[in-house]
Structure 1
Amino acid sequence: MIDKLEMFIALANEGHFGRAAEVCRVTQPTLSSAIKQLEDQLGVQLVFRGSRFQGLTPEGQRVLDRARRIVADTRALRDEMRSLKQGLAGNLRIGVIPTALPMVASLTAPFTHRHPNVGVTILSRTSAEILTGLERLDLDAGITYLDNEPLGRVAQVPLYTEFYRLLCATGSPLANRDRVTWAELADLPLCLLTPDMQNRRIVTQHLAEAGVRVSPGVESNSTITLLAHVMTGRWLSILPKKLADLFAASGGLRAIPIVNPEAEHLVGLVAPHRDPPTPLIAALLETARRAAEVKG
């Protein structure tokens, strides 16, 4: 039954029989047969069928909600039994907003040092994708903003406070400034993250509050792409302090504080709210708390 529920969840997540079969590492006929067997066992139609997947029936949607809880509970039980037998082991999938990727090692390094039998997979995701991934069981945890947009029912541990810097080449007219205001960023050739990124929404909000309308010449969901454009000397970017400082440390670039106001937002670890949490998540949350205490 659990295997069939996992296949059903994969189908709901992927919206395609072939892709769901690939996720489950089975053939498409095997997955289709498992869904049909699940329908027979439950006595309801779960999926609208045609030449392709056409969505879940109302009954299928209700089963999906329950299936996610059942599968999550089963995985938690497996983790707990495995940890009792051989200590913590397995793999954690952590979604991380792009601007926090350079800082994630401050969490994963001490965690894997304490728990060498646990592997970690780091995936770059938007804040919305992280919350969706937690709900869909695609992710075990995430690192995202804690104070800017609703998170729903998740466990959370603050990791650090994000401040903002103007990143520019040393040849820029602003390169010798000790600080700039948000209002002074009007009409600059900016390259920024794409609007689906929460960092971009934060930057847009602070610029708007200073009376600046955003019209970037370049947009990307990759901070490396923004860096490459700033290095040409033609563009400037607005990035979190730690990321901007990291880019500027190699020389050729300046990271200038943006003030009036010096905006700040909290970034932290989030995980599905469970009482108690799985052993792996409990250990990750504890490592995050220790990391935050050291920085504090």
Structure 2
Amino acid sequence: MATLRDIKRKIGSVNSTQTITRTMKMVSASKLRRAQTDLEKIKDYAVKMEELTGRVVKNMPADAHPLLATREEIKKVLIVSIGSDRGLCGGFNTNVALTAENFSRQNRDTYERVGIYVFGRKIRDYLAKRKMDVIKSWVDIKNVDQELVDAVAGEIIELYLTGEFDKVYLSYTYFASPVKQEIVFEEFIPIKTPEDVEYIDYICEPDRMEIVGSLIPRYISTKIYYALVESQTSEHAARMSAMENATNNCGEMVRYLTLVYNKRRQEGITNEMMDIVGGAEALRGT
């Protein structure tokens, strides 16, 4: 049975933990506001870029560009999974890693190879422990800038064009709200035009094929940039929610331990009073 000193020490420890989690929640809330600002800047551009690309490439022959052609036989598939380097953000990283792991295991007999291109130390370590085929990992990314995105887009395009992989999927966390984030798993390359996209016969200058040749790589880099920013925003939101839950749990634990402490103290006082009364009665009887 824990003594009063042990309970009091535990209350102090939980209070210290609560202070840390409350501070981390405030830090995450501040980072989330900045991340939302960055997301708002890129979101409209990314949506318009996707719409424009869909309209321009619609009704074009599949051989107009190598990134538009669907290969007859899909043997090797690449998953681009975007997570984070840090933990303490609930199931943020685990959900993305599980999506890649489940797809790989479920399609083990369908494809010859399922490779995973990883962003984030947590996802890399999770998949490496489970013997998944991690072909490359990006860790310790301080800032998402155009240079980084262009390098990543160039590598992924090269992997597809050289025949290393026949299809590419993109997996990241979509920021729906500060309390809701959703996993996105979608086909990335080859580029597919949605059926509901309206075809517009643009007057092109220079030639339409030349425009498509420069537009598609730009679309791919924009999509990766957008997915990275979405993921970062979702990470801060998930960490803020996790730290808020941890802070509330610490408060409940402190209330429970305080109740236990008071009961034990009252029991001790009662026992002492009974000993005194019993001793007094014994003396009176003699």
TM-score normalised per structure 1: 0.24
Greater Rg by CA: 2
Structure with higher helix content: 2
TM-score normalised per structure 2: 0.24
Structure with higher strand content: 1
